[in-house]
Structure 1
Amino acid sequence: MAEQYDVIVLGSGPGGYVAAIRCAQLGLKTAIVERELLGGICLNWGCIPTKALLRSAEIFHYMQHAGDYGLKAKEIEADLEAVVKRSRGVAKQLNAGVTHLMKKNKIAVHMGTGTLTGPNSLTVKGEKGEEKITAKHVIVATGARARDLPFAPADGKRVWTYRHAMTPPEMPTKLLVIGSGAIGIEFASFYNDMGAEVTVVEMLDRVVPVEDKDVSAFLEKSLTKQGMTILTGAGVEELKVSDKSVSAKIKGKDGKVQTAEFSHCIVAVGIVPNTENVGLENLVEMDRGFIRIDPYGRTKSKGLWAIGDCVPGPWLAHKASHEGVTAAEAIAKELGNKDVHPHPLDRNNIPGCTYCHPQIASVGLTEAKAKEAGYEVKVGMFPFIGNGKAIALGEAEGFTKTVFDSKTGELLGAHMVGAEVTEMIQGYVVGKTLETTEAELMNSIFPHPTISESMHESVLAAYGRALHI
């Protein structure tokens, strides 16, 4: 007889395992199905181990510039194998942490490949053979994978996805990065700091194209200053891979095609949802492979839910976790819990962070998007060169930009580039969630000396009141 649960979660990434924990907290008998590693891509091959790599590169960068801080350091070298080993150790530690959380919350773990046999039932093929499990509700959290170039699929030797780039067989000497979204720019930044000669090719007219134009312009200037070659409005038309190199035909914004040689290539041109071979046919509606859901995660089939990277974006770990909690609470409510009050996801309040050097962080509308939406805006910008803490840290490059509705004072968006901005953006996220206006932000007292004072000054600047510029 099939094992029966209140909820089964298919996939244990930051959406899936968080959904399972919240279900368990709400008293629901919960199971999770995972075919590879608990924690999914984020903990094992994505967000966290990538940040471990970037941290090593950051420290290496500071060591090389010790003289800027009145220090001396000699014979500085990077040990790529040791850097990767540290990153994998971090991933292993977090995987063990998720395993502990499953036990702590009494969540049954079924390791194997799960396939839906209906909206409320699965078969799991794994180490125990084939199991049949059923539940009143099923949450699909199968995530996504890197998109291949049709003319040059990743081989792990010369052409890499992010996964190959995290455990490189060797250090690239001359690296081509195709795509300048968060993943592409982060790996470009890592390998550049580690000593590779890096070229970034972006099809659109600017790097990190989802960000505010001022952020894109600043980042391109900074990366170029660091020694990268940035080609925007350009495309790779052909890759020829040999045992020792990659030859790329690159069409520039002027229409001319040039051939360049590289030791390796990282392809970062988007993702493909893992929605094939899961048994979703006839159970859900799809849009380019992504599962259509309502604001709480419901699909068209009663009792079947979906969250994370297999549903419409933005495709971010924290968005997946939030969707997991929302779906869990909505399920508990349907099962009779009157004490939960799930809230639908507000995509305008989802922050985005890119951990290149310098860092990027943003939330809400860009200045251009706000104007397209019909707002009359007030915009404030404050450069880090006017911030005492940034100067003291030797990190005076960067700025904070805020966008307000000039009629109501509503904070529409905030955009930051520079040191530690990924740790500061949450201040604006909380402000937007609380529906703040410029008045509350102006009257908030920011601690001194901190880089966060630039957030305050940016708000003041939007209304002609900046104090330090």
Structure 2
Amino acid sequence: MADTNYDVIIIGSGPGGYVTAIRSAQLGFKTAIVEREHLGGICLNWGCIPTKALLRSAEIFDHANHAKSFGLTLEGTMKADVKDVVARSRGVSARLNGGVGFLMKKNKIDVIWGEAKLTKPGEISVGKSTKPVVEPQHPVPKGVKGEGTYTAKHIIVATGARPRALPGIEPDGKLIWTYFEAMKPAKMPKSLVVMGSGAIGIEFASFYRSMGVDVTVVELMANVMPVEDEEISKFARKALEKRGLKIITEAKVTKVDKAANSITAHVETKDGKVRQITADHLISAVGVQGNIENIGLEALGVKTDRGCVVIDDYGRTNVPGLYAIGDVAGPPMLAHKAEHEGVICIEKIAGVPGVHAMDHRKIPGCTYCNPQVASVGLTEAKAKEQGREIRVGRYMFNANGKAIALGEDNGMIKVIFDKKSGELLGAHMCGAEVTELIQGFVVAMNLETTEEELMHTIFPHPTLSEMMKESVLDAYGKVLNA
């Protein structure tokens, strides 16, 4: 008879789930992970990774179309083959999907294939998956366990999230897309309306614009990427509009009319006026919601709030032995937050000394549009709302030698310090490779670094990272290269 009893069972194999499973195994727990569709979850298969592959193709295409500015002449006409662009993206995803399977095997973690449901504390039943694998490059891994009843002292829910749908504008997979369809277009559309300007919406808008598509973004709030610092948001908007993106803020799509091969979006602006925009497709990117349905939470009396499981600082729910991490446990819905949250959860279970709660102020956010946007900590507005006396420093890419040499001199870095203590409160960036640069400020904040320590840090030359130091110097009236 198959062994069905474990120390830890994790439901969901996204970044939060599989990383937690690995750490669980490292800590000596007998561990299993339940998956119904694809190892690696949305992030590896339909989100973080394959979108970056698409955006990389778009970046190269952009550079090729401006080869003359680098002194290069390309023979013939540049064109993007959507079939090959998508195939590369799916291949990248498949490679990482297989990598997760290898990690499970390496760490002796059992994979249970199917749909899990909590039946009572410490027990789940696993039924046949209703999400069959649809891509040959993402097969069900060999050696997995299947349907049955499984028990564990600790069960961690890591079921992730799915695209949110607005009433009356539900995605249909044909004319109204979510990121699933937007990632695998059968042919390149000529025009798109993107509803929502968060990271998902802006990244797809940026990708399709690079591919030559006429793109209109509709955002309910006053600024694109509304969670970002207002100054950075406005800077990014100008850069995106310079690339040909059409952006309508303080507006909402109230209705969508469908024709045979097009949609007409009715867009209402804050003054009550309605304009109609006809396009091949509409991408619905109005956020995501936790996957909390049909997994037995209600029967066990698990507390939820606004579509997410309620947890404490260590992932514990109100039901003993039951935990939740990642998107299903609430915002920010980011893969790196899920991973860190999962490690905190399992280390707390194991009694690892020194485990402390995650500081949400130090979770970086990245948007991989062109130009990129990245941030950590408080915005200027939030710092002022808290009654802080602040110093603000700024540095522009057009004063940096490396940025000019790269042909990427449109960008800015902004830092916010507490005027009294010198504490770094926030950092906000827009420009080339800022999604890589931001971690320098994250580390600084985590180490409670002050402005003095940053000023005395030697940054290599010539690099984009020098701008980080210059922005700090600017906050204190000591900027050198501007």
TM range (shorter): over 0.9
Contact 2:290 2:330 in 1 (8 A): no
Contact 1:157 1:169 in 2 (8 A): no
Who is 1:101 aligned against? 103
Shift of 1:120: 1.1
Who is 2:306 aligned against? 288
Q: Deviations over 1:307-334 (max 9, x none)?
A: 000012100000000011111101111x
1-structure distance, mates of 2:147, 2:8: 19
1-structure distance, mates of 2:79, 2:307: 45
2-structure distance, mates of 1:205, 1:355: 21
1:303 pairs with one of 316, 321, 327: 321
TM superposition score normalised by structure 2: 0.95
2-structure distance, mates of 1:97, 1:403: 40
Contact 1:119 1:283 in 2 (8 A): no
Find out whether 1:175 has 2:192 as its counterpart: yes
Shift of 1:340: 4.0
Who is 2:476 aligned against? 463
1-structure distance, mates of 2:314, 2:339: 13
Who is 2:12 aligned against? 11
Q: Which runs of 5+ in 1 are unaligned?
A: 334-338
The code of the aligned residue for 2:415 comes to T
Contact 1:329 1:341 in 2 (8 A): no
* Equivalent runs, 1:149-168 vs 2, <5 Å: 149-168=166-185
Moved more, 275-284 or 397-406: 275-284
Who is 1:336 aligned against? none
Query: For 2:147, what is the secondary structure of its paired residue?
Result: strand
1-structure distance, mates of 2:17, 2:146: 23
Contact 2:113 2:146 in 1 (8 A): no
* Equivalent runs, 1:60-209 vs 2, <5 Å: 60-73=61-74, 74-126=76-128, 130-209=147-226
Query: For 1:318, what is the secondary structure of its paired residue?
Result: helix
Contact 1:35 1:112 in 2 (8 A): yes
Who is 2:375 aligned against? 362
Who is 1:411 aligned against? 424
Q: Deviations over 1:9-49 (max 9, x none)?
A: 00000000000000000010000000100100000000000
Query: For 1:198, what is the secondary structure of its paired residue?
Result: strand
The code of the aligned residue for 1:230 comes to I
2-structure distance, mates of 1:199, 1:456: 36
2-structure distance, mates of 1:39, 1:12: 5
Q: Which runs of 5+ in 2 are unaligned?
A: 130-144
Shift of 1:368: 0.4
1-structure distance, mates of 2:238, 2:146: 55
Q: Deviations over 1:252-280 (max 9, x none)?
A: 23321111211111000011110010001
Shift of 1:410: 0.2
What's the % identity of the aligned pairs?
60
1:377 pairs with one of 367, 390, 400: 390
Contact 2:113 2:147 in 1 (8 A): no
Contact 1:115 1:277 in 2 (8 A): yes
Find out whether 1:432 has 2:449 as its counterpart: no
User: Kindly tell me: are residues 129 and 424 of structure 1, through their superposed partners in 2, closer, same or farther at Cα, counting changes over 3 Å?
Assistant: closer
Contact 1:297 1:327 in 2 (8 A): yes
Contact 2:455 2:472 in 1 (8 A): yes
Query: For 1:428, what is the secondary structure of its paired residue?
Result: helix
The code of the aligned residue for 2:99 comes to G
2-structure distance, mates of 1:307, 1:296: 9
Query: For 2:165, what is the secondary structure of its paired residue?
Result: coil
2-structure distance, mates of 1:166, 1:103: 30
The code of the aligned residue for 2:248 comes to L
Who is 2:142 aligned against? none
CA RMSD of aligned residues (A): 1.1
2-structure distance, mates of 1:129, 1:461: 60
Who is 1:27 aligned against? 28
2-structure distance, mates of 1:119, 1:57: 48
Moved more, 58-67 or 243-252: 243-252
The code of the aligned residue for 1:211 comes to E
Who is 2:246 aligned against? 229
Contact 1:384 1:396 in 2 (8 A): yes
Q: How many pairs align? A: 464
Moved more, 252-261 or 237-246: 252-261
Query: For 1:260, what is the secondary structure of its paired residue?
Result: strand
Who is 2:43 aligned against? 42
* Equivalent runs, 1:315-326 vs 2, <5 Å: 315-326=333-344
TM superposition score normalised by structure 1: 0.97
Who is 1:213 aligned against? 230
* Equivalent runs, 1:335-346 vs 2, <5 Å: 339-346=352-359
The code of the aligned residue for 2:232 comes to V
Q: Deviations over 1:121-179 (max 9, x none)?
A: 10011377631000010000000000112112111111100111001122111100000
1-structure distance, mates of 2:28, 2:91: 34
The code of the aligned residue for 2:301 comes to L
Query: For 1:15, what is the secondary structure of its paired residue?
Result: helix
